[in-house]
Structure 1
């Protein structure tokens, strides 16, 4: 046992440093995501989803780094990784829209100027109805990882992909706080 510890002392030390670094980064990134969520008044479910993404990325980086620390043969690792990435690449190409919607969901979390309860108009020719402009207005019911839930004036729930929200123009008509404020009356 002592011989094993003596032979692998440096790799165990690097593994311990990596573990402490990953835990520290997890705490820092989680607190940043929670602060952004709180300052921007985001739904806690959305904040927890972003924290889950952060944990997945940090875990993946830790596993990759641990493989290099443990001294895996790079030639064998290259063959393994190229095979795995070939399969993953084909799968992600087949599911590109899902990947782009997840990425758009993360971008929307950090920089989307609209929140749940806002009334919006999406400048998409497939949604726009020149005969009935009321149909163009939607209230954001929920923001998920892959799509938005929008409520039409008729009460219909429409799911709209996150990637399209970033590609199309979105007009903010009113916020949920605007509806509580009364309009000032004009003096005649």
Structure 2
């Protein structure tokens, strides 16, 4: 689940469910209503109660900041501001041992040397990758997860569930430049990227903005 801010930020949540609780689809939308990530987090922690939702882990960021939100337990969401770098979030808390995260980092590492014109196709290839890391079988054998090993791939295909869509968002450093968004209407391995950048309105000139990104 993901949402985008008018000013060029966004939020997304990972999954796990109990049908009696409120939809976590509300969470990225709530974060996207703010003009920047710090404001979104400030509003979020004072208005959202973890007990109302199934466990969720979210990232919300803009051009200059990125935050991790843990909506698992407690009276209020737990928030950590993350440093610049590569951050991979799956359906578990950030920072724990994860064969999937390790595999995604391996796939993403070469992209640092990719030319800008080739970056979006290269990211799409990562999102369409079906490699299952060896550690996924070890996790299942050790009883630390009941998920099938295919879930550890970037693009998931199992009998019960799988990847429904993939997306690439590019946020230019210039605050007067509109973010770019591409998405697939189906699994990233089977569906072409579609350009949905026009969903963002034309940005206001910096001088006309009442609130600047921090």
Q: TM-score, normalised by structure 2?
A: 0.18
Structure number with greater CO (CA < 8 Å, separation at least 6) is 1
Q: When the two structures are superposed, what TM-score results if normalisation uses the length of structure 1?
A: 0.20
